[in-house]
């Protein structure tokens, strides 16, 4: 019988990358709510439960890790009440062909959520953009803004998200 070599891992390194409190909340939600069916395309009454500027996942090939506008919408009524719809608006500064369009799409969504004029939502660097996103999130989440969101698909099959109405 061959003895197996004992391997040791630096688990503390992984712990630094995990939001333990956030993870516990996610686990509790999953235990309480179970698996959700996919939310189909359509119109939904929603609120924003979380919004932040984060980073996209780094893929096995090393790509990714780009800035990303992350928004969690919670469905407030109907068959899918309580379920989440996730918007992940990646912005790739290294992609000259897509970066302007990506920022534009995020700006449009932020303007519609905040009922803002064009000049109130503008990209002036990621630090300022992060502050803007957090300011908008604070107002619309604390003041419990509700919306009608239309979720669909574009010609390329990618998800689309449009705020069609701000509810009182």
pLDDT tens for 95-139 read 999 999 999 999 999 999 999 999 999 999 999 999 999 999 999
34 has pLDDT over 80: no
Phi, psi of 142 (to 5 degrees): -65, -40
How high does pLDDT run on average in the chain? 91
Phi, psi of 29 (to 5 degrees): -60, -45
76-92: average pLDDT: 96
Nearest alpha carbon to residue 54 among 86, 15, 25: 86
pTM of the model: 0.78
**Is residue 161 within 8 Å of 151, Cβ to Cβ?**
yes
Q: Determine whether 138 is exposed, middle or buried from the number of CB atoms within 10 Å of its CB (0-12, 13-18, 19+).
A: exposed
30 has pLDDT over 80: no
| Rounded CA separation 146/52 (Å) | 18
């Amino acid at each position: 019988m061959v003895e197996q070599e004992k391997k040791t891992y630096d688990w503390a390194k992984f712990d630094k990358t995990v939001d333990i409190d956030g993870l516990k909340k996610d686990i509790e939600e999953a235990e309480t709510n179970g698996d959700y069916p996919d939310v189909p395309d359509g119109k939904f009454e929603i609120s924003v439960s979380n919004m932040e500027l984060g980073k996209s996942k780094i893929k096995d090939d090393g790509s990714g890790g780009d800035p990303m506008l992350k928004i969690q919408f919670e469905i407030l009524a109907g068959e899918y009440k309580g379920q989440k719809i996730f918007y992940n608006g990646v912005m790739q500064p290294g992609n000259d062909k897509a970066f302007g369009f990506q920022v534009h799409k995020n700006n449009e969504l932020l303007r519609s959520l905040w009922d803002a004029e064009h000049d109130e939502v503008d990209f002036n660097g990621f630090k300022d953009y992060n502050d803007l996103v957090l300011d908008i999130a604070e107002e619309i989440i604390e003041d419990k803004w509700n919306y009608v969101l239309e979720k669909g698909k574009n010609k390329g099959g990618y998800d689309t998200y449009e705020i069609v109405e701000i509810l009182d």
